[in-house]
């Protein structure tokens, strides 16, 4: 790979890393806000008619928060091992570098898996909460 291709790859890789960080942070903030809003609404009003989907949705969102925290820790471990690989390459110390690259590949794959699982948990939780509150609003309008 030529220097210009390598620089382009590094630039786009940096952009990808930054964008993924923004998306993870956004999901974490929205998830925490939804959990807080839902709990405050449940405590402030007597929603006995349709509390199950809301509670299940909150549970999914709490799992989503847990997976996002695990995802962040996993990414930090990946960044750390990638830095160690780069440092070894710069010093021309190639002992164990292939094993470290394998570990980095596993961490990178796990990062994307955790990311997709988090998105799935987020979507299911949000849908359940929206459906629960929609039912509450509709049932109060017609009662």
Q: Are 27 and 122 in contact (CB under 8 A)?
A: yes
Element of type H or E holding 128: helix 97-141
pTM for the model: 0.84
Q: Is 46 left (phi over 0), alpha (psi -120 to 50) or beta?
A: beta
Mean local confidence (pLDDT), 62-67: 98
Q: Note the pLDDT of residue 8.
A: 65
1 has pLDDT over 60: no
67-89: pLDDT as tens digits: 999 999 999 999 999 889 888 88
Which value, to the nearest 10 degrees, does the dihedral of the CA atoms of residues 124, 107, 21, 89 take? Answer: -170
Closest CA to 70 of 117, 22, 19, 23: 117
10 has pLDDT over 90: no
Q: Which of 72-76, 102-106, 136-140 has the lowest mean pLDDT?
A: 136-140
């Amino acid at each position: 790979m030529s220097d210009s291709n390598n620089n382009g790859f590094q630039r786009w890789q940096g952009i990808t890393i930054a964008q993924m960080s923004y998306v993870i942070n956004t999901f974490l903030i929205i998830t925490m806000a939804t959990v807080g809003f839902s709990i405050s609404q449940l405590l402030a009003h007597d929603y006995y008619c349709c509390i199950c989907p809301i509670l299940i949705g909150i549970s999914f969102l709490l799992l989503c928060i847990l997976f996002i925290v695990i995802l962040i820790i996993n990414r930090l471990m990946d960044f750390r091992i990638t830095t160690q690989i780069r440092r070894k390459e710069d010093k021309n110390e190639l002992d164990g570098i292939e094993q470290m690259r394998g570990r980095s590949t596993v961490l990178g794959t796990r990062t994307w898996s955790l990311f997709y699982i988090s998105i799935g948990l987020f979507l299911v939780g949000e849908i359940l909460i929206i459906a629960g509150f929609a039912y509450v609003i509709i049932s109060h309008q017609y009662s």
